[in-house]
Amino acid sequence: MVRFLKPNKAVIVLQGRYAGRKAVIVKSFDEGTRDRPYGHCLVAGIKKYPSKVIRKDSSKKTAKKSRVKCFLKLVNYQHVMPTRYTLDVDLKDVVTLDSVQGKDKKVSACKATKEKLEERFKTGKNRLK
């Protein structure tokens, strides 16, 4: 079988709390693991998208509207829909498998992911919404 769910692939989460949200595959586990014996992947996604910014907004309001909220999740392959797009933001060094296990590590990984995605949005290189 051809392996097409590779890291940096943009996907849409289909099930659960973040259904319909866009995410990026950070790491994929095709054969599964001991505790998850099915194909799954670690995704970093966007919980809250940036709002539309208009010209008359103040700089403070523009900064608030440009904020992004993120999530990290282990998702079954059956519950993601791959897109044809890839994201060239490297999240491998920020998000690891052990960052999902503990609460404090997850929070710090989410903050780092949020900074990378916000910076990406502000440069205008890749629209998130």
pLDDT in tens, 18-69: 999 999 999 999 888 899 999 999 999 999 998 998 999 999 999 898 889 9
- Tell me what pLDDT residue 61 has: 92
- How many separate helices (H) and strands (E) can be counted in the chain? 3, 5
Joined together, the tokens standing for residue 64 give: 């608030």
In sequence order, the 6+-apart residues with CB closer than 8 A to the CB of 11 are 5, 22, 23, 24, 25, 43, 80, 81, 82, 83
Identify the residue whose tokens are 């629209």.
127
- Predicted local confidence at residue 76, as pLDDT: 94
Q: What is the pLDDT of residues 80-126, one digit of tens each?
A: 999 999 888 888 888 888 888 888 999 999 999 999 888 888 887 75
